[in-house]
Amino acid sequence: MENQLDLQCFQNGDLHPVRLKDLDELPSGELRKPAKYHPPLTKCNREREGHDGDEDELPALEAAYASILQSLGENPERQGLQLTPRRAAKAMQFLTRGYRETVADILNDAVFDEDHDEMVIVKDIDMFSLCEHHLVPFFGKVHIGYLPRKKVVGLSKLARIVEIFSRRLQVQERLTKQIALAITEALKPVGVAVVIEASHMCMVMRGVQKMNSKTVTSAMLGVLREDPKTREEFLALIKN
C-alpha cells in the first residue's frame, strides 16, 4: 500500500522528481519503496513541498480532515482520498501562512528616504482569503494609495502586505483596515487609503447564492480621511 501511495504521490505532483531514480520495478511488478528524500528547505522548496507551516501541526490537521471525510459518509481509504487529508492539511497551512509572517519581516529594509510628496497608488492587486465564518474563499482586487512623508516603500512590498493579512481567516472589513494600519505604522505617511472589491463564495456557492454580488470596503486614514478633495483624487485614479 505504501508503495502504491508513493507512486500516486509522484503522479499527482506531490513527490519530488529527484526520487524518480529510486522508483525501480521489482520482478513481481510492485514498486520498491523509494529512499527518503529531504531537499534543502529553501523558500522555493518550502513552498513546493508544502512546508508553509510547522511540520508538527500536520498530523493533527490530517486527522481532522480524515474525520471530516468520515463524517460526510466518505471512505478516506479509497484510492481518490488516501492522500486528501495530507494535501488538505498542507493547503490550509499555505492559505493561513500569514499568521507566521510579520510586516517587519517582509519590508526587510525596503523603506527609502525620498523627497516625494505626491500620491502613490498601486491598484488591482490580486487578493485571495478565507472567510472566517464558513472557511470558504473570498477574492478580488485591492487598491492602495498613500501620500508619503519623505519616505517611500518598494512597490512590491505593498502587495506583500496584502498577502500577509489575506492569508489568514478574515472578514473583508477587518482585512481592509489591517492593511491600512500596517502601511501607516511602517511609513508614517500623511495619509493612506485602501479599497477592496471582492466576491464571497459564501454568498455565491451557498446561502443567498447571488452570483454577481461584490462587496466593496474602504479604509481612509490621515489626510485621505480628512480632506474630501484628496480622497476624491484617489477614488478617481483607481477607477481610471
From 30, 79, 133, 232, active-site residue:
133
Active site residue 132: yes
From 51, 131, 163, 178, active-site residue:
131
Q: CA 15 to CA 37: how far, in whole Å?
A: 9
- 119 conformational bin, left if phi > 0, alpha if psi -120 to 50, beta if neither: beta
Active site residue 202: yes
Identify whether the C-beta of residue 186 lies closer than 8 Å to the C-beta of residue 107: yes
H/E element, 228:
helix 228-239
Other Cβ atoms less than 10 A from the Cβ of 184: the count is 16
Active site residue 133: yes
Q: Tell me the CA distances in angstroms from 233 to 43, 118, 127, 183, one per residue in order.
A: 39, 11, 23, 19
Active site residue 200: yes
Identify whether the C-beta of residue 132 lies closer than 8 Å to the C-beta of residue 96: no
Active site residue 131: yes
Phi and psi, residue 168, nearest 5°: -145, 170
From 132, 185, 226, 232, active-site residue:
132
From 49, 134, 197, 233, active-site residue:
134
Active site residue 44: no
From 93, 170, 172, 178, active-site residue:
172
From 101, 116, 202, 233, active-site residue:
202
Q: List the catalytic residues.
A: 131-134, 172, 200, 202
